[in-house]
Amino acid sequence: MISRNVFVINQLGLHARAATRLVNCASDFDSEIIIKKGPREVNGKSIMGVLTLAAATGTELTIEAEGADEKQAIDAMIQLINNRFGEDQ
């Protein structure tokens, strides 16, 4: 299992389109993915779970991945978040 922390930096936070892209990204991998915000944790492959995190911009998240492709999964997700989900800066 690997785990990394990341800050949500896009303007709108984990809104629906960003959450959709994140869940799509997580679903590309076989590993189990958990996203944590403070005491709350949700399945990274669940759109509803990710939405209910209500992670606004500036929120710190912990992403955990476990499985054969855990490293690739976590890299891809961190990159997506750091790149503001491909939104315009």
Partner 1 sequence: MSLTLSGHAVAPGVVIGQVHLAESNELEIGEYRINQEDVDKEINRYRNAVGAAREQLLELADRIDLAVAAPAAEIIQSHVLMMGDSMIRQSTEDHIRDQLCNAEWALQTQLEKILSEFRSMDDEYIRTRGEDVTQVVRLIQSKLSAEAATTPFENIPDRLAETLVVAYDLTPGELALLHERGVAGIVTEHGGPHSHTAILASSLGIPAVLGVHGARSQLQEDSVVILDGGLGVVIADPDEATLEHYHEVRLDAERYRRSLASLRERRADSLDGVEVSLQANAERRAELLQSITSGADGIGLYRTEFLYLQGAPPDEETQLAEYLSALDMLDGKPLTIRTLDLGADKSTDALDFSQLRRSVNPALGLRAVRLCLRDTALFKTQLRAILRASSSGLVRCLIPMITSVQEIRLVRKLIEESKIELDERRQPYDKDMKLGGMIEVPAAALAIDELGRELDFISVGTNDLLQYALAADRGDEQVAHLYDLEHPGIVRLLRYILREAERLELPATVCGEVAGDPRYTRMLLALGLRQFSMHPARLLEVKKVVRETRVDAATDAMKVWLKNPSAAKDCSLLELLDRSQASS
Please give the residue ranges that form the binding site for partner 1 (CB under 8 A).
Answer: 2-7, 9-11, 15-17, 19-21, 23-25, 28-29, 43, 46-49, 51-52, 54, 56-57, 71-72, 75-76, 78-80, 82-84, 86, 88-89
SS3 of residue 48 by DSSP: helix
- Supply the minimum distance, in Å, between the C-beta of residue 35 and partner 1: 14
CB of 47 to partner 1, least distance (A): 4
Task: Tell me the catalytic residues.
Answer: 15
